[in-house]
Structure 1
């Protein structure tokens, strides 16, 4: 499998993803790797329907996404990975899936999270996962849309630590 793009966006497939990021990814397949979404039949159906024409969409558990990555049947397939959180990205990397760069586009605010941009809020678990991804050499950039100037996520996280 040839990884063209990886993005964390808890909305998954929506307008910006279908009009901008799918084109940037230039991949034939979107794989949504999420245990939670894989077990939600209604959400899976809606996500598949929201995909742009000609783009295959698969929704699967993280461990299955790893198996698919290493399946020789898909070795020439181009893929755009979508995740809802950094923990799932880290799980794939720990199983030797070579994700080298992750675009962070949307992580909604919820109680217990700290808002670091208009579109991204992080909880303790998210921060720890991003730190580990950084240790693995993964480039982490914040960009809601492709025309935004990329922001280094780790600098934002360091700013959180120094503000306390």
Structure 2
């Protein structure tokens, strides 16, 4: 983030979350209200190609909160755009691979919250709501090596659980 006269410039990211459900009750109501956000930015190359899903996500937002669905490349491009200085946002991703692409571009996230990553063929359940494959594991290890705290919390009132400890315990 840039600094000008003691004021931080850039997007005010209140939460970076991986949750393949994206905008749902907990995000739309509890997290958004508690974090006092103005905008939810869904960062997903796949979702940007699904017009129906984009419309549904915009309709799921609480009143007064704007929703944008953008590609990883667009996120990297707009991150330092002065038009977004001070805009309070939640960044939602469907997977850690896309988070790692943003971080590899030079954007650092101090912490990433993992809410849910559903099971599909080829993935292994490592926690109640988290299934990972090799690409996910590689991305999580990269983010951890960059100093990003990886914490599991489905809801804001849950205690934080360190993802790397969970992965170690699951022997993956």
Superposition TM-score, scaled by structure 2 size: 0.90
**1:158 to partner: Cα distance:** 1.4
Unmatched 5+ stretches in structure 1:
none
**Partner-residue secondary structure (3-state), 1:90:** helix
Residue 123 of structure 2 corresponds to 113
- Higher share of residues assigned strand: 2
How many matched pairs? 162
Residue 43 of structure 1 corresponds to 53
**1:101 to partner: Cα distance:** 0.6
Aligned mates of 1:83, 1:109 — CA distance in 2:
16
Aligned mates of 1:91, 1:54 — CA distance in 2:
30
Residue 22 of structure 1 corresponds to 32
**Partner-residue secondary structure (3-state), 1:92:** helix
After TM superposition, the runs of 4+ consecutive aligned structure 1 residues lying more than 4 A away are: none
**Do residues 101 (structure 1) and 111 (structure 2) align?**
yes
Aligned mates of 1:98, 1:134 — CA distance in 2:
11
**1:48 to partner: Cα distance:** 0.3
Aligned mates of 1:70, 1:80 — CA distance in 2:
16
**1:98 to partner: Cα distance:** 2.5
* Equivalent residue for 1:87, pick from 89, 93, 97: 97
Superposition TM-score, scaled by structure 1 size: 0.95
Residue 68 of structure 2 corresponds to 58
CA contact (8 A) 2:15 2:90 kept: yes
- Higher share of residues assigned helix: 1
* Equivalent residue for 1:10, pick from 6, 20, 23: 20
RMSD, aligned CA? 1.1
Aligned mates of 2:116, 2:159 — CA distance in 1:
15
